[in-house]
Amino acid sequence: MVVVGAGFSGLAAALALARAGAQVRVLEARDRVGGRVLTGWLDDGTQLDLGAQWIGPTQDRMYALVSAYGVDTFPSAAYGAGYVRRPGGRSTEPPPGAEELFAALDSLGAAVDPAEPWRAAGAPRWDRMCLTDWLERTAVDPESARYAGRLLAGGLLAASPDEISVLQTVFYLRAGGGSRSLLGMAGGAQQDRLVGGPGALAERMAAALPEGSVTCSAPVRAIEQDRAGVLVHTDRERVAGDAVVVALPPALAGRIRYTPALPALRDGLTQRAPMGSAFKVHAVYPEPFWRADGLSGVGTAVVGPVTETVDNGTPDSERGVLTAFCYGDEARELRGMSAAARRDALLDALAAVVGRRARRPDELIEYDWSADPYTRGCFCGALTPGSWTRYGPFLRRPVGRIHWAGTETATRWAGYLEGAVRAGERAAAEVTGAGHRANQPSQR
Ligand SMILES: Cc1cc2nc3c(=O)[nH]c(=O)nc-3n(C[C@H](O)[C@H](O)[C@H](O)COP(=O)(O)OP(=O)(O)OC[C@H]3O[C@@H](n4cnc5c(N)ncnc54)[C@H](O)[C@@H]3O)c2cc1C
């Protein structure tokens, strides 16, 4: 069996296939495993999670892997009061009516089966309506609509609310257990971090595969299939197998050349799931000065380029790390600026919520996932308005010997590490259940 991509989904698929007795080859484009996770280290050893970082309750497969591979976790820093940056300044409360908007969307989601969101009674209407329209019609005031749009479209999908449909929003809410679960720190998706970052876990997962299973620096360019099996082409080799699990976001899976060509609707799906647009920037200070002022550093914003911040310090480091997240239009605007102008805009936004000392970080560290050829955006891909009802059924449907994994195909915790693992394990079960002959992968 062949697996394309050594992110969490590809690794989980490969481990499950290996457990089922298959011989597996994993072909990974980058020179490392892990995909959308990357750990940076400051010179004093402080850990910075440049990609994914959190896990939280009900992400059972991730906690099981953390435990099985002996990776320690620690809780996200939480020391003082949170804030909401609103037009008049810093507040402790979100705009009135915002919680009701989250609750209303959660209750729409209750009617959606995340395995088949296109079948919900309201699906046609929700799919053609963008989140902005729904919020403007439903909200009691424009500020709460703007706040909810920034948190739901931005904080969850790194998009602007006019880029995603109501159906995409409620699917995602449902898959992650609702807005409280998705947006929460303790008790929610942002509860725990991994010592060494999720990359440390990915490396252990890869090491648990039989030696030689994973080949890095091997971007897959083409996949051929016929009645005998599949032939997966990299620049250096052709790997044969009975079946292939493509563990990539749809937008990247669409860049592989398939012979025979993919069915038109599957190909169409890959053209309608763009990656989000986010900036995750770490401002590093000698110490977390905001804590002395009784501030947690954790907050959200209705105005400005930064939608969310967190105190991203680690228990073993004295350095203060304030991490800023910018999404959708704000991220695109920042991307268009010079590095100096972007730095000013980001530091002004941080100063507005934790005070003037924020303007003088030791370092400001960003990793641009949108410019990375093997991710091309973050956090994940999301279907454009109108696409769930037209193309959704082709998200997971295998094409002959090609099976689709990747977090975007998950029915639980889609878009998250947990979704990636579940999708990989589901694809592996599909492959073994499909009765493809257990040929050894071999080089041709
Ligand atoms: C900045 C950021 C913050 C995030 N925060 C969180 C968080 O806190 N918690 C959370 O749960 N999730 C978070 N996420 C989302 C999380 O990272 C993803 O859901 C998860 O990593 C997806 O795993 P995957 O295996 O499906 O895809 P990927 O990790 O994208 O894996 C795909 C792999 O395929 C490789 N590849 C691409 N093209 C080819 C090719 N042609 N041939 C071979 N290999 C190829 C890639 O290099 C990559 O290794 C975040 C993501 C980002 C970017």
Indicate the pLDDT class of residue 300, thresholds 50, 70 and 90: very high
Which pLDDT value is given to residue 441? 52
| Average of per-residue pLDDT across 155-162 | 98
Q: What is the pLDDT of residues 24-60, one digit of tens each?
A: 999 999 999 999 999 999 999 999 999 999 999 999 9
- Mean pLDDT check: name the lowest of 141-150, 307-316, 431-440: 431-440
Other CB atoms within a 10 A radius of the CB of residue 10 amount to 32
The CATH class of 97-181 is mainly alpha
What residues form DSSP beta bridges with 404? 246
How many whole angstroms from 278 Cα to the centroid of ligand 1? Answer: 14
194-209 per-residue burial string, b: 16 or more CB within 10 A, e: under 16: bebbbbbbbbbbbeeb
| Cα 308 to ligand 1 centre (Å) | 21
Q: Rg (Cα) of the chain, in Å, rounded?
A: 22
Query: Looking at the predicted structure, is the pLDDT value of residue 437 above 80?
Result: no
Ligand 1 centre and the CA of 90: distance in Å?
34
Q: How much distance in Å is there from the Cα of 239 to the middle of ligand 1?
A: 23
Q: What is the mean pLDDT of residues 402-429?
A: 98
State the closest ligand 1 atom to the C-alpha of 375, by its place in the atom list counted from 1: 30
Separation of CA 36 and ligand 1 centre (Å): 3
Domain boundaries, the chain: 2-36+198-262+399-443, 97-181
One-character DSSP codes across 149-203: HIIIIIIIHSS-TTSSBHHHHHHHHHHTTSHHHHH-STTSTTSEEETT-HHHHHH
- Report the pLDDT averaged over residues 150-171: 98
Retrieve residue 94's tokens: 């979100």
* Average pLDDT rounded to a whole number, residues 144-154: 98
Pocket residues: Cβ below 6 A from ligand 1 = 4-10, 27-30, 35-37, 51-54, 219-220, 247-249, 252, 256, 280, 369, 374-375, 378-380, 406-407, 415-418, 420
Q: Determine the Cα–Cα distance for residues 345 and 366; give it in Å rounded to an integer.
A: 14
Cα 202 from Cα 28, distance rounded (Å): 13
Q: How far apart are CA 11 and CA 9, in angstroms?
A: 5
- Ligand 1: distance of its center to the CA of 87 in Å? 35
Protein residue with its CA nearest to atom 21 in ligand 1 = 36
Residue with CA nearest ligand 1 atom 19: 416
Which of 257, 413, 417 for mutating ligand 1's site (highest number of atoms within 8 Å of CB)? 417
Mutate to test the pocket of ligand 1, among 30, 31, 36, 425 (most ligand atoms within 8 A of CB): 36
Q: Which pLDDT score, from 0 to 100, does residue 81 have?
A: 87
**Displacement of CA 319 from its chain's centroid (Å):** 27
- In the predicted model, is pLDDT for residue 311 greater than 60? yes
Ligand 1: which atom is nearest the Cα of residue 27? 43
Atom of ligand 1 nearest to the CA of 408: 26
Mean pLDDT of 363-367: 95
Helix, strand or coil, per DSSP, at residue 337: coil
What pLDDT was estimated at residue 79?
87
Nearest residue (CA) to ligand 1, atom 3: 52
- Helix (H) / strand (E) containing 8: helix 8-19
CA of 377 to the centre of ligand 1 (A): 10
CA 425 – ligand 1 centroid, Å: 16
pLDDT score of 88: 87
Please report, in angstroms and rounded to a whole number, the separation of the first and last CA atoms in the chain.
Answer: 14
Q: Is the confidence at residue 281, as pLDDT, over 60? A: yes
List pLDDT tens digits, range 87-146: 989 999 999 999 999 999 999 999 999 999 999 999 999 999 999 999 999 999 999 999
> What pLDDT does residue 444 have?
53
Q: Is the peptide bond before 87 cis (omega within 30 degrees of 0)?
A: no
CA-nearest residue for atom 49, ligand 1, is 35
Ligand 1: which atom is nearest the Cα of residue 190?
Answer: 8
* Complete DSSP assignment for 384-435: PTTHHHHHGGGSS--BTTEEE-SGGG-SSSTTSHHHHHHHHHHHHHHHHHTT
Report pLDDT for 80.
Answer: 85
Given the structure tokens 């998706």, which residue do they identify?
Answer: 189
As a whole number, mean pLDDT of residues 337-346 equals 97
Compute the distance from residue 35 Cα to the ligand 1 centre, in Å: 4
- Ligand 1 centre distance from Cα of residue 74 (Å): 22
Q: Which CATH architecture has domain 2-36+198-262+399-443?
A: 3-Layer(bba) Sandwich (3.50)
For ligand 1, the distance from its centroid to the CA atom of residue 327, given in whole angstroms, is: 17
Backbone angles phi, psi at 210, to 5 degrees: -55, 145
Cβ-Cβ contacts under 8 Å for 372 (sequence gap 6 or more): none
pLDDT of 87: 93
Average pLDDT, the chain: 96
Q: Which of 205, 233, 252, 379 maximizes ligand 1 atoms within 8 Å of its Cβ, making it the mutation to test the pocket?
A: 379
Q: Report how far ligand 1's centroid is from the alpha carbon of 420 (Å).
A: 8
